[in-house]
Copies of this chain bind each other. A is one copy, B any other.
């Protein structure tokens, strides 16, 4: 009763965050974003990472050129493309050529498997479509590639014309495809519809995969149903990103397989990374996180009801389906919002600060809590956290510099085609002498940075080598329009050191200024470049 199936000999988790996930409305990934997300997927323990469509757009082409530097630990990179065009030759298809030169061992090509899509969307014959599949797979295999085929609209196609859908899979298999991935491209399937179609397809004998979308709210359940019916390769995306309603969320899938099916699909350490991976990828992709996301969401282990709270004190397991630390998440009582003393002490240890004193740790914890309620986030901003601790210890009474005032002026005259004029003034005191300098920039924060650098340089010439390498802005309550609270994060680099500071406020310039001046303060306190 309530038994799990036996784990198949092989089971592959295939991440398509960078290709299908990037189709999500509002998602725009730069090359650096893509490289950073690939590292996260690798850290989570997926078997394959689909990086994009080389040859179809310059970022994706460049991604494959740069990917070898990533040094992925376990994931294999896959280049995505399509079958050759109708009425042409595989050997003359520039996109198939680009797949050959992308430098991956694996390639995945999408093929039409639904007869109506062949005739109406592709506008070719059913036979030519089969020839396109066969030719393209053979061409890639002939170039030494291990080939996967995404059978697009497979399930809808099977329901319309099962013989043809099966023929597409058979053709791909006979041409040398290792895996044929059955795609519910429109996402309209239900779990109880999956089994029969998968069983009928299994008879072909090629390894089957599944690729689900969430349009019926069942992407994950459909993937599990397909797996229960014999599929051994599952595609999805981190956080379920994707076109329309998104793809199967790999974070939930992996946790379900590992903790519910009790199949070791990743290592316990990789599973323990999952909450961090989910949130880091959301940060990189600039997507809001869903507090309700299973396993990794901020509320996934949050308890509110009075009904439960007293029982929770007796036995955590009574009201939690798993131990939240297994996926790197925390149990969360909603009365208090975050960071207890223990967390603060662990964090301090990581940063090489002694927070073993209970009172000090408690004081910092309550400050962090207070400031987080205002919108600060210290998870990534280690430098601001360290400044907060040092300040609490009284170590910042004697600062390298102190601000007197700053101002910014931005003006645009005439045609909006011309750039606005931006100027900033910074007045401060450093090593006992007052400094006032003006700076120009192509934006207010850039101008403030120029002025601040100039004002610091007489006392601290080393700031010349501090480089602002990262600037992020997050509007915290977007629905308050231009009156919303803004969180700014600035990354600064000196030689091999990089540190991050945070600023918060209703005024984006003020928040930026806070992060900016703290960035210099931190570098100077650390003595970066002081000996040169």
Which of chain B's residues have a CB closer than 8 A to the CB of A253? Answer: 217
> Are the CB atoms of A410 and B411 closer together than 8 Å?
no
Stretch from A37-45, A141-149, A319-327 at the B interface? A319-327
A404 to B414, CA, bound (A): 5
Closest to A32 in B: B479
Copies in the complex: 2
A164 contacts the other chain (CB 8 A) = no
A294 to B477, CA, bound (A): 24
Which of chain B's residues have a CB closer than 8 A to the CB of A311? Answer: 117, 120-121
Which of chain B's residues have a CB closer than 8 A to the CB of A483? Answer: 441-443, 446, 468
Stretch from A169-177, A270-278, A298-306, A345-353 at the B interface? A298-306
> Are the CB atoms of B292 and A2 closer together than 8 Å?
no
A269 contacts the other chain (CB 8 A) = no
A449 contacts the other chain (CB 8 A) = yes
Chain A window 459-482, contacts with chain B (Cβ cutoff 8 Å), 1 for yes, 0 for no: 000000001111111111111111
Interface residues on A, range: 35 or more
Known: A32-B479, A240-B292. A300 touches B443 (CB 8 A): no
Shortest distance in angstroms between A28's beta carbon and chain B's nearest beta carbon? 6
Shortest distance in angstroms between A170's beta carbon and chain B's nearest beta carbon? 18
Known: A321-B187, A509-B443. A120 touches B314 (CB 8 A): yes
A243 contacts the other chain (CB 8 A) = yes
Which of chain B's residues have a CB closer than 8 A to the CB of A473? Answer: 473-475, 486, 508
A509 to B476, CA, bound (A): 18
A24 contacts the other chain (CB 8 A) = yes
Which of chain B's residues have a CB closer than 8 A to the CB of A334? Answer: 25
> Are the CB atoms of A186 and B319 closer together than 8 Å?
yes
The 8 Å CB contact of A478, one of B162, B414, B472, is B472
A288 contacts the other chain (CB 8 A) = yes
> Are the CB atoms of B197 and A509 closer together than 8 Å?
no
The 8 Å CB contact of A507, one of B299, B322, B420, is B420
Which of chain B's residues have a CB closer than 8 A to the CB of A513? Answer: 412, 416, 420
Closest to A315 in B: B120
What secondary structure prevails in chain A residues at the interface with B?
mixed
The 8 Å CB contact of A514, one of B193, B214, B416, is B416
Stretch from A83-91, A218-226, A358-366 at the B interface? A218-226
Residues facing B in A217-256 (CB within 8 A) are 217-218, 220-221, 224-225, 228, 240, 243-246, 249, 252-253, 255-256
Shortest distance in angstroms between A41's beta carbon and chain B's nearest beta carbon? 19
Which of chain B's residues have a CB closer than 8 A to the CB of A476? Answer: 28, 30
A441 to B506, CA, bound (A): 9
The 8 Å CB contact of A471, one of B305, B410, B482, is B482
> Are the CB atoms of A405 and B412 closer together than 8 Å?
yes
Which of chain B's residues have a CB closer than 8 A to the CB of A441? Answer: 482-483
Which of chain B's residues have a CB closer than 8 A to the CB of A410? Answer: 407-408, 444, 507, 509-510
A487 to B119, CA, bound (A): 41
Closest to A375 in B: B28
> Are the CB atoms of B292 and A214 closer together than 8 Å?
yes
> Are the CB atoms of B444 and A468 closer together than 8 Å?
no
Minimum-distance CB pairs A-B, first 6: A188-B321, A221-B221, A468-B481, A121-B311, A217-B252, A407-B411
| 5 cross-chain CB contacts under 8 A | A116-B318, A217-B221, A468-B482, A471-B480, A473-B508
